[in-house]
Amino acid sequence: MIFHSNDVSETERIGAELAKDLKPGSFAALYGDLGAGKTAFVRGAVSVLCKDAPVCSPTYSIVNRYDGEIPVYHFDLYRINDDDDLYSTGYYDIIEENAIFFCEWCEKCPQAIPDGAIKIFISREGDGRRIEIADTFT
């Protein structure tokens, strides 16, 4: 499915729409350049899943956890260089939890993205963004 977003609030709204379809174990893999709008998309989704949780970019922390009815983990793999790095963050244990997962910069660690992940590709399109959601189950 392809969406066109003219500003950050539209990207948040598209994220919020997707969130309604997510269940425990869902893994949303985000792809796109610096400043594409990945964190904005996740902010919108988390606003539905974990009311009032403040979403910030986990670029330095690698992972943020937000508490909702179902816990949500938000990863950013930008600073991960290899699988050993990723392993040491606890990523592989965390993704076995009964939670919902968002992961930015999945192009950094393609081998680490679970089969069945929902893939979200965000790119610039004029002043706006093109957002493609590829659900492997549909």
> Among residues 11, 51, 57, which one has the least CA distance to residue 34?
57
Among 18, 27, 31, 38, binds Mg ion (CB under 5 A): 38
DSSP codes, 85-99: HHHHTTHHHHTTSSS
Closest by Cα among 65, 64, 96, 63 to 77: 63
CB of 109 to ligand ATP, least distance (A): 14
Q: Is residue 122 within 8 Å of 41, Cβ to Cβ?
A: yes
Size of the site for Mg ion (CB under 5 A): 4
Query: 18: closest CA among 7, 29, 8?
Result: 29
| Exposure class string for 20-36: b at 16+ Cβ within 10 A, else e | eebeeebbbbbbbeeeb
User: Binds 35, which of Mg ion, ligand ATP, none (CB < 5 to 8 A, cut-off by type)?
Assistant: ligand ATP
Does residue 39 bind Mg ion (CB under 5 A)?
Answer: yes
Closest CB to Mg ion among 33 and 125?
A: 33
Mask: binding to Mg ion, 42-71, rule CB under 5 A, as x and -?
---------------x--------------
| Closer to ligand ATP by Cβ: residue 2 or 34 | 34
Interacting residue ranges for Mg ion, rule: CB under 5 A: 38-39, 57, 104
Interacting residue ranges for ligand ATP, rule: CB under 6 A: 5-8, 10-11, 32, 34-40, 57, 59, 104, 128-129
